[in-house]
Chains A and B, each alone.
Chain A
Amino acid sequence: MGAMIEIKNLGKTFFTKENQVVALEGVSLEIEEGEIFGIIGLSGAGKSTLVRCMNYLEKPTTGSVVFDGQALHTMSEKQLRKARQSISMIFQGFHLLMQRNALQNVCFPLEIAGVPKKEAEKKAKEMLELVGIADKMQAYPSQLSGGQKQRVAIARALATNPKVLLCDEATSALDPTTTRSILALLQEINRKLGVTIVIITHEMGVIEAICKRVAILDRSHVAEMGKVEDIFVNPQSEIAKQLIYPQGRKEGTFQKGECVRIVFDGRSSFEPVVSNMVLACGTAVNILFADTKNIDGQAFGQMLLQLPDDETAKRKIFAYLTSRNIHFEEEFANV
C-alpha cells in the first residue's frame, strides 16, 4: 500500500493587512491508503489550514501535496475541481444546504459532477441507507438533530466514491454518545469501502477511538507523529504529554513505601493483569494510581501499586510480572 496523501515541507503564511500569520511551517507527513489518520492539536495550531491544504482549498505558500500520485500544485483549476471529487470533506458545522432536503443534499455533489438525475437519486438513496437514515430522506436540515445532520453530510461526502474523507472536527459539535456513534460509522465506512480517513480533532478521545496513526500539531509544526499506541505509551513532546495527561502525570502522593509502576503497552485489555497477579501471588496490593486506556481492544497506560512490606511477597510479585512480560519499574511513592 502506497501513500494516498504525501505532504512535503508544507508551509502556509497568511498575509493580512497589518501582519503575517504563519499557520503551518515545515509540515511533512504521509497518509497511507486505507488508514485512519489522526491530526490533533490545540486551537489555532493550524489543523484546519493543514486539512484545507490537502484539497487545495488553501494554496500552500511552500511545499507540495501529492494526492494519489498527482501533485496538486501542477493542476489547473479545472483539474483541481475534478480531483476534489475524490477528496471529500465533512465539517464541524455540517454545512448542509438548508433549502434542500436530505436526499437533495446528497444529490448535490453528484449534480456538480454531472451525474444524470435518476442515477444520482439512486446513488443518494444508497448512501443514506449506508449511514442509517434512509427514513429521513425527505427531511430538511432544520428538522434533523446534529448527529443526523452529520450522517447526511457523511452520505453526501461519500456519494462521489471518494478515495479520501477529510473530517475537520466532525464530532466537536456533538454529545459523547452521538460522537461515539459517528466515529463507529466512520470506522465502518473505512472497513467497508476502504476509504482513507483523515480525522482532525482537539480531543484525544477521538484519536484513541479510531485512529491507527496520529500527527500532533503544535503551533504550526508537527511535534510528534507515529502509531497511536506508541505515542500513548511513550509521549516525547511536551504537547503530547499535555494532550494525553491533561491533568499532568499523576504520582501516588499519599503514602510512604515501596511501589511498583506497571506499564501497559498494548496487552489485551481483556486480560485482568492485576487480579491474576493477586491470585497467583496470594498477596494483596494497593492501587495508588491508575490511568489506562482501551485502544482497539488493547490496554495502554500505567498503574502505580503499593507493595506489601513482606519481602517474599514482593519478590513473588516481581517474578510474576517478569514471567508475564509486563514492563514495571520499582519506585518509592513520595510522602
Chain B
Amino acid sequence: MFNAQMMQLLAKGIWETLYMTLVSSFLAYLLGLPLGLLLIVTDKNGIRPMRVLNRLLSFVINFVRSVPFLILLIAVIPFTRFLVGTSVGSTATIVPLVLASAPFVARMVESSIKEVDRGVVEAAQSMGASPWQIVWKVLLPEAKPSLILNAAIATTTILGYSAMAGFVGGGGLGTISINYGFYRYQSDVMLVTVLLLVVIVQVFQEIGMRIAMKGDKRSH
C-alpha cells in the first residue's frame, strides 16, 4: 500500500502542509504583531494610552478567538472565494488560517512584550526616546527571545488548524488523513500522516527553542 504513488501523495501532503503553515504564520504575524504592539502601546499603563481603541481592539480579538475554527472557516468562505477565487485547496485555506490565528498571535505578542521590565521603558523615556523608538529599540529587541519562543507555539497551533481544515478539503496532510483514513478505512495511512504531523511539530518547536535560547543574552 505504501507504493510510489502513495509516497508521492504523502510528499505532496507534507509540502502543502508546510506551505499553508508557514505562509499563514507569516501573514498572521504580519497582522498580529502590529495588533499586539498596539494593544501594549495603547494600554492604560502603556506609552500612548488610548482607552477606546484599546478596548475595541481587545473586544474584536476576543470575539474572533472565541469563534470555533471550523465555524470560522465555513463562515468566511465567501470572503475566501473573493480573495483566492476558490474555497478549496491549500491556498484557499490560508485565508481562514490567518484570520483565526492573527488575534491569537496578537495576544502572544502582547504577553511577550509585557515581560519587558517597565523600568527599562522608563529609562528610555528619561533619555528622551519617542514612542516609536521605544517600540523599535526597546520593546521588540528586549522581548525577542520570548517572541521567538511564542512564534514556535503559534506556528504549531496553526499547523494543527491546517490539519483540521483537511476535513473540508483544505489540502495537506489533514486531507490525506481524512480521505484515506476516515473515508476509506486505511488506518495505516492515517497513522502515518499523524506521525508526520507529530514530527513536524517537534521540529518547529525545537528550532524555535534553539533560536530563542541562543539569542537570549540573559542566559549566560
Is B202's CB within 8 Å of the partner chain A?
A: no
Tell me if B219 is interfacial: C-beta within 8 Å of chain A: yes
Given A57-B125, A93-B119, A97-B120; A81-B130 close (CB under 8 Å): yes
Whole-angstrom distance from the CB of A105 to the nearest CB of chain B? 10
Q: Is the CB of B217 within 8 A of A91?
A: no
> Which of A112, A141, A160 is most buried by chain B, counting CB atoms within 10 A of its CB?
A112
The answer to whether A81 touches B123 (Cβ under 8 A) is no
**Bound CA–CA A311/B130 (angstroms):** 76
Q: Are A112 and B129 in contact (CB under 8 A)?
A: yes
Query: CA separation between A109 and B134, bound complex, in Å?
Result: 11
The smallest beta-carbon distance between A72 and chain B, in angstroms, is 13
Q: Is B127 an interface residue (CB 8 A)?
A: yes
Convert A274-300 into 0s and 1s, putting 1 for each residue whose CB lies closer than 8 angstroms to a CB of B.
Answer: 000000000000000000000000000
Q: Which 5 A-B pairs have the closest CB atoms?
A: A84-B128, A95-B123, A81-B128, A95-B119, A89-B126
| Interface residue B124 (Cβ < 8 Å from any Cβ of A) | yes
Given contacts A57-B122, A91-B123, A112-B133, contact A99 B128 (CB under 8 A): no
A82 touches B128 (CB 8 A): yes
In contact, B219 and A142 (Cβ under 8 angstroms): yes
Say if the beta carbon of A88 comes within 8 Å of chain B: yes
A98 touches B218 (CB 8 A): yes
Within 8 A of B (CB), among A118-169: 140-143, 160, 166
Partner among A93, A101, A112 whose Cβ is within 8 Å of the Cβ of B128: A112
A-B contact list, 27 entries, CB within 8 Å: A57-B125, A81-B128, A81-B129, A81-B130, A82-B128, A84-B125, A84-B127, A88-B126, A88-B127, A93-B117, A95-B119, A95-B120, A95-B122, A96-B120, A97-B142, A98-B142, A99-B142, A99-B216, A99-B217, A100-B141, A108-B124, A109-B128, A112-B133, A112-B137, A140-B217, A143-B220, A166-B126
A91 CB to nearest B CB, Å: 6
Say whether A112 contacts B127, CB under 8 Å.
yes
In the bound complex, CA of A102 to CA of B137 (Å):
15
User: Are B220 and A108 in touch, CB under 8 angstroms?
Assistant: no
Query: B residues touching A (Cβ–Cβ < 8 Å)?
Result: 117, 119-120, 122-130, 133, 137-138, 141-142, 144-145, 215-220
Contacts of B215 in A (CB 8 A): 99
Task: Give chain A residues whose Cβ lies under 8 Å from the Cβ of B120.
Answer: 95-98
| A84–B126 touching, CB < 8 Å | yes
Q: How far, in Å, is A100 (CB) from chain B's closest CB?
A: 8
Contact between chains at A112 and B124 (CB < 8 Å): yes
Residues of A within 8 Å of B138, CB to CB, are: 97
Evaluate contact between A113 and B128: CB separation under 8 angstroms: yes
Q: Which of A93, A109, A113, A142 interacts with B218 by CB under 8 Å?
A: A142
B220 touches A97 (CB 8 A): no
Chain B residues whose C-beta falls within 8 Å of the C-beta of A141 in the assembled complex: 217
Residues of A within 8 A of B117 (CB): 93, 95, 98
CB-CB under 8 A from B122, the residues of chain A are 57, 91, 95
> Once the chains bind, are B127 and A160 in contact (CB under 8 Å)?
yes
Q: With contacts A100-B141, A109-B127 known, what are 17 further pairs, Cβ within 8 A?
A: A57-B126, A81-B129, A85-B127, A91-B123, A95-B122, A96-B120, A97-B142, A98-B217, A99-B218, A108-B127, A111-B137, A112-B128, A113-B128, A140-B217, A140-B218, A140-B220, A142-B218
Which residues from A are CB-within-8-Å of B144? 99
Whether a CB of chain B sits under 8 angstroms from the CB of A306 is: no
State in angstroms the CA–CA spacing of A250 and B87 once bound together: 88
Is there a chain B Cβ closer than 8 Å to A55's Cβ? yes
Among B137, B215, B217, which residue has the most Cβ atoms of chain A within 10 A? B217
Separation of A84 and B122 alpha carbons in the complex (Å) = 12
Contacts of A99 in B (CB 8 A): 141-142, 144-145, 215-218
B128 contacts A85, CB within 8 Å?
yes
A142 and B117 alpha carbons, distance in the complex (Å): 14
CA distance A97 to B220 in the complex (A): 15
Q: Is the CB of A108 within 8 A of B137?
A: yes
A89 and B142 contact, CB distance less than 8 A: no
Nearest chain-A residue to B142 (Cβ)?
A99
Say if the beta carbon of A83 comes within 8 Å of chain B: yes
List B contacts of A88 (CB < 8 A).
Answer: 126-127
Q: Residues of A contacting B220 with CB < 8 Å?
A: 140, 142-143
Q: How far is the CA of A166 from the CA of B141 in the complex (A)?
A: 26
CA A97 – CA B125 in complex, angstroms? 13
Residue of B nearest to A85 (CB): B128
Task: Tell me the bound Cα distance from A231 to B142 in angstroms.
Answer: 45
Point out which of B128, B217, B219, B220 has the most chain A C-beta atoms below 10 A from its C-beta. Answer: B128
Which residues does chain B contribute within 8 Å of A113, judged by CB atoms?
128
A190 to B137, CA, bound (A): 30
Please give me the residue from chain B that is nearest to A140 by CB atom: B217
Would B119 and A91 count as touching, CB distance under 8 A?
yes
B130 — which chain A residues lie within 8 A by C-beta? 81
